[in-house]
Every structure is written in C-alpha cells, then in structure tokens.
C-alpha cells in the first residue's frame, strides 16, 4: 500500500526521499508521509506543512518537524465518484475504509482509485496552497481540527505573513 501511495504521489509531481513526498514553494514545504498503523492493517496519509520563515534551513523535514499536521482522511470533504451516493459518501469514512488493507467492503480496484484520487487531491493542494496567505484560509475551511504549531498560529493570527515585517 505504501508503495502504491508513493507512486501515485510521484505521478502528481511530488519529490520523494525516504518514504516521504515533498512539494516546495518559496514559503512552504508540504510533507506527505504514508504510514501503516502499528497494530492494524490501516494506513494513513499524514500531511504536514513547514513554514520556511520559521525553519529556513530544513530542506527535508520529517512529518514530526512540521508546523501543521493532519491525516488526509481529516482534510476536506471530497470523495471519488464511485463513493458518491454510497453509505461511505463522506471523506473521512471513505478514506479510512479505503486505506484499511483487509477491508472487504472495497475492491482492490476501488482502493487503487481511492489512492490515485487522494494523490491527485494532494497534488492540487500542494500546487495551489504555496504561501502563508493561501494556507490560512485553506486551513480554516479544509482542516480546522488539525494541529498547528504555536509559532505558525502566531503568524496566522497576527497577520505576520512572510514579507510583511
């Protein structure tokens, strides 16, 4: 599953190093890290963001070093066409099911389509949210319950965006 997720992310143009994928802009580094849960057959696609203003010298951050942390299953509400109208027609339920390797309610083809959908969604996200100015509104609507480092929260709430000092 991890290799399928990484391949789909690579197809979307994300750079890869040590089982992590990266997208970079002048202000941000997005980190996408597929990982398997320790005691189950469930995978998560962890999404992190590092502000280059707060940590300018870190070029290949780990997920844990990021200033924003969230599981892809908790980002947004989009689902593939195949899921619409089904009992799993919500983002969190669908991707939790699709990323559980032995869940028999979904076929391997649907699971592959879910991984490709998630990768395309993340490719769009990382290509469009390339600044702190874009990140603030995106985070408020798409990932309001995510972890936000205190320093990044300070930048967002004080309006101290890069270039404004």
Tokens of 93: 């339920």
Tokens of 161: 């965006």
Cα–Cα dist 9/7, whole Å: 5
Phi, psi of 31 (to 5 degrees): -120, 125
Confidence bin at 160 (pLDDT 50/70/90) = low
Q: Flag whether pLDDT at 163 surpasses 60.
A: no
Q: Which one has a higher pLDDT value, 2 or 39?
A: 2
**Residue 75, in any domain of the structure:** yes
Enclosing domain of residue 130 = 2-158
Please give the pLDDT value at position 64: 95
Structural domains of the chain, count: 1
* Model confidence pLDDT, tens digit, residues 83-126: 787 777 788 888 988 998 888 888 888 889 999 999 999 999 99
Burial 139-159 (b: 16+ CB within 10 A, else e): beebbeebebbeebeebbeee
**Residue 165, in any domain of the structure:** no
pTM of the model: 0.89
């Amino acid at each position: 599953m991890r290799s399928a997720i990484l391949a789909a992310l690579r197809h979307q143009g994300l750079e890869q190093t040590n089982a992590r994928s990266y997208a970079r802009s002048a202000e941000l580094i997005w980190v996408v890290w597929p990982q398997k849960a320790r005691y189950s057959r469930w995978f998560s696609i962890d999404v992190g963001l590092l502000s280059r203003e707060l940590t300018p010298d870190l070029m290949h951050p780990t997920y844990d070093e990021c200033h924003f942390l969230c599981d892809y299953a908790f980002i947004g509400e989009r689902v593939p066409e195949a899921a619409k109208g089904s009992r799993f027609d919500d983002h969190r339920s669908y991707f939790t099911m699709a990323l559980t390797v032995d869940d028999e309610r979904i076929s391997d083809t649907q699971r592959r389509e879910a991984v490709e959908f998630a990768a395309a969604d993340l490719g769009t996200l990382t290509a469009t949210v390339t600044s702190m100015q874009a990140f603030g509104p995106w985070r408020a609507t798409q990932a309001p319950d995510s972890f936000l480092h205190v320093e990044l929260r300070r930048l967002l709430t004080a309006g101290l965006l890069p270039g404004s000092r």
